[in-house]
Amino acid sequence: FPPELKLARPIHLTNLALHIPGLSIHALRLNRAQPEPVWTLHAHDRHGQLIIYLTGRGRQLLDGQELECRPGSVVYVPPGTAHAWTHRMSTTPLALVLDLVLLPSRYTAHPVSVMPQAALTQVKKAARSLAGLANPGQREHLFSVAAAVMEIMSCAMQAAGWLKPYNRYGDANQQALVKFMER
């Protein structure tokens, strides 16, 4: 793994069973796929996937459309959608892949987006915390695992525009408009 991640071990969490209204997360894994000479198309009928590129560059083939991906790219693959990937450079991408069921809404239209560097840093930190657990499937790690996975989802969903970021200082646009009108 790249030195900036310093992951202690691979991550492969199955049977997560995390549920909130409109979202069920079934599995999370850290993938470093091996280069393939041709696109290997496949689809998942029972769940979709959320792919978050942590390092490297690649191309996702999603329903016949080729998408360029780089660190911070968030790709949503709806259930039943044919997809594949290929790498762009000599280093294969390292990506988090979440198997999930996301209820469709008007906000899930964009197949690929890029998260800001600060959000990517948060995702990498959450991945490090998951990789640092000796046995993440143990009951005593239940809340730590859930918190890290939800942190990853929050960053990805904000980047994709499915969640609005929370601004504890109020709506800055309204304040700017009031100040403009005062002037």
| Side chain identity, residue 135 | N
Q: Please state whether beta strands 58-62 and 112-114 pair in parallel, antiparallel, or not at all (unpaired).
A: unpaired
Gap between the Cα atoms of 2 and 56, Å rounded: 10
Whose structure tokens read 């390292």?
94
DSSP state of 74: E
Residue 23 bridge partners (DSSP): 20, 102
Per-residue pLDDT of the chain (183 residues; tens, 9 = 90+): 455 455 435 788 888 989 988 899 999 998 876 555 555 788 898 999 999 999 988 888 888 888 889 999 999 999 999 988 876 666 678 899 999 998 876 665 567 889 999 999 999 999 999 988 877 777 788 889 999 999 999 999 888 877 765 555 555 555 555 666 566
CA dihedral 146, 150, 153, 154 (to 10 degrees): -170
